[in-house]
Amino acid sequence: MDSSAQGRVVLITGAAGGLGKGLVEAFAREGWRVVAAEHSKVAQEEGEAVWRTQMDVVSPASVHACVEEIMQRWGRVDALINNAGVIADELLPQVSEEDWDKVVDTNLKGAFLCSQAVLRPMLKQRDGNIINISSWSARAGGRGQSNYAAAKAGLLGLTTSLAKEVGSRNVRVHAVLPGVLPTKMTSHLTPEQLNEYAAANALKRINSIEEVARFVVFLTSLKNVSGQIFPLDSRIGRT
Sheet holding 50-54, edge to edge: 45-46, 50-54, 33-38, 9-12, 79-82, 128-133, 171-177, 228-231
Q: Which of 32, 136, 148, 197 is catalytic?
A: 148
Residue 150 makes CB contacts below 8 A (sequence gap 6+) with 104
Q: Is 197 marked active-site?
A: no
Q: Cβ distance 152 to 173 under 8 Å? A: no
Contact (CB, 8 A) for 137 and 151: no
Is-contact 91 144, C-beta < 8 A? yes
Active site residues: 148
